[in-house]
Amino acid sequence: MYFIAEGEVEVELAHENVKLGEGQFFGEIAVLHKTSRTADVRATAPTKLLILDAYDLQTLTKRNPEIGEAIREIAQSRSELAPAERHGDMIEAELEEPTSEGVNET
């Protein structure tokens, strides 16, 4: 999952392209649903991204359920726009459940 710290990206969906800017995020659908990505994204300006892997997202949402709920709501609204074709770029380690010790093993 990626957060836009600076810049702008364009998300290529089946029927439209959507621009996202500073403070917005993408990649949450693949992480939340443990599936491959649903869209192509490319920077349209110089961009700095912050990365949150699946393990850390799960840890964060367990500690702060309201953050998880907000991300899930946005993912639900976006999943209706996703193209039917799936692209396979998730790696196995990103799909693992967090361990009870809270140690990131990636």
What top-level class would CATH report for the domain 2-91?
mainly beta
Mean pLDDT computed over 91-96: 48
User: pLDDT tens digits for 41-78?
Assistant: 999 999 999 999 888 988 998 999 999 899 888 888 87
CA distances (Å), origin 100, targets 6, 78, 103? 34, 31, 8
Predicted local confidence at residue 41, as pLDDT? 94
**Shortest CA distance to 40 belongs to which of 95, 93, 83?**
83
Looking at every residue in the chain, the average pLDDT score rounds to 79
Q: What is the Cα Rg of the chain in Å?
A: 14
